[in-house]
Amino acid sequence: MPPHPLTDSWTMTRRELAHWSRHPAPLLIGLLFPVMLLLMFGYLMGGGRGVTGDYLDYLLPGMLALTMAFGLENTMAAVTRDLTKGVIDRFRSLPMSDAAVLVGRASADMLSSTLALTVLMTTALTLGWRPDTTPTNFLTALALLLLLRFAMLWIGIHLALIAGTPELIQTVQILIWPVAFLSNALAAPESMPSWLAAAVDWNPLSQTATAVRDLLGAPGAEASHTWTAVAWPLALLALFFPLAVRKFARLNN
């Protein structure tokens, strides 16, 4: 029977969802971690360097973008765990699309990311955040956030296939945090040294955070070029998606 990429991908997505029902702790931790950071930076640590207006209005879009970078280690660990236990070898022996295992994993992660955005925005609404935007702009902001997440996922999947073992994921995870926080998610680049501000401005996460602030009507938000928030993730996808699929196809060859 020839492989059917869409059907195979949905089958692998259902496999990941079944794992959630049996082991919900990682999902719950992933949902609560951004909420904890929102409360910590918004209230306990003050924040707001270089920010005019209500800091929560500035912080939330940045936290939404940061959330799209968090939790990649769970996906990477799941991929390497399947590799070391021989699960992927069994899948590759079946008449199914090579990309289905990876797409199924990514699809399940996108569902959890959507849920994480919902939880974080619900928490912000409880704290008094009110977006000044239209339904179209609101949905566009969500689309940009999920596009960033989808691109980040394929970077993580490719690195996981290269790492090969769960132990090496910790090394890769250490690199995620500097990239995530080297952005304008928590503070305005104007408050930073010029050399650091330049690096922050070029960060894809900063581009998405700026576009989301603009779309959600954050007071004092700088004008954004939404196309850059689209171009960066698409460029990353164009690079890492084929690399991940090619690496998967060449496993044990």
Predicted pLDDT of residue 222: 64
The structure tokens listed for 41 are 């930076």
CB burial of residue 134 (10 Å; 0-12, 13-18, 19+):
exposed
Per-residue pLDDT of 87-133, as tens digits, reads 776 776 666 666 777 888 888 889 989 999 999 999 999 988 888 88
Q: What is the mean pLDDT of the chain?
A: 81
Predicted pLDDT of residue 4: 64
Closest CA to 152 of 42, 54, 236: 236
Predicted pLDDT of residue 2: 43
Residue 1 pLDDT class (50, 70, 90 cuts): very low
Domain with 64, as residue range(s), is 5-249
Closest CA to 149 of 54, 33, 68: 68
In angstroms and rounded to an integer, the radius of gyration of the C-alpha atoms of the chain is: 19
Percent of the chain at pLDDT > 90 equals 25
Per-residue pLDDT of 3-27, as tens digits, reads 566 776 777 677 777 766 777 777 7
pLDDT of residue 167 exceeding 50, the answer is: yes
pLDDT of residue 45 exceeding 60, the answer is: no
* pTM of the complete model: 0.84
Task: Report the number of distinct structural domains present in the chain.
Answer: 1
